[in-house]
Amino acid sequence: MNKKTELVYAINALFAACNPHDIDPEEIPQRLETMHNLEELDFDNLLQALRFNAETVYAYSAEGSDFDSGCNYYGKELFPCRATRIYSFCVMEEMDIVLLNRVLELWLLDDFSFALVASTETDYEEGAYCTAYRVIRATDLDEIAQEMELVFDDIADNLIELADSYGEVGMPTYEL
């Protein structure tokens, strides 16, 4: 099976886990419009965008930029392969001198599996020093759907935006 086919299967499985049976009747027209947009999704562009945006995800990271003794430190890798964050939801945010966020993130791994990650992020002086602690909460799509109320439209919009942003690069024009 080629990568594009695997991606299509993974995306279809994700949307099947978004509890389509619990739809409010008033949401049906919006859901149908989103499904129509997904049918027009360019999976070739999406595959390239996922590869381009894939990153190594660490269980712990600390990054400092504005200090003389600032350093970047990364703990062990959270996944055995690179991954792309396709959805995140802020559970809690506290702001004082340090911004503290508790975030649930949905990652699509390079092997086309999904992982739900709980992340606690701190940000001191707007990026001068940032830390992130991440823990895998679930890898099964049914567990992910129970842990995190997957928002069908938001995930679809994120995927469409990701594919469109990669596909907007025009062909080079050469002049003689």
Residue-wise pLDDT tens digits, 130-166: 899 999 998 898 888 777 766 777 888 888 888 887 7
Q: Which residue has the higher pLDDT, 152 or 41?
A: 41
In which domain, by residue range, is 153 found?
3-167
Residue with tokens 């989103």, as numbered in its chain: 34
Neighbours of 66 (CB within 10 A): 11
One-letter amino acid for residue 150 of the chain = L
What distance in Å separates the CA atoms of residue 50 and residue 98, rounded to the nearest whole number?
31
In a domain, 112, yes or no: yes
Whether residue 176 is contained in a domain is answered as no
Contacts of 47 (CB under 8 A, 6+ apart): 3, 4, 7
CB 15 within 8 A of CB 152: yes
Residue 174 lies in a domain: no
- Is residue 173 situated within a structural domain? no
CA atoms of 66 and 88, how far apart (whole Å): 27
pLDDT of residue 1: 58
How many domains is the chain built from? 1
Q: Tell me the percentage of the chain whose pLDDT exceeds 70.
A: 78
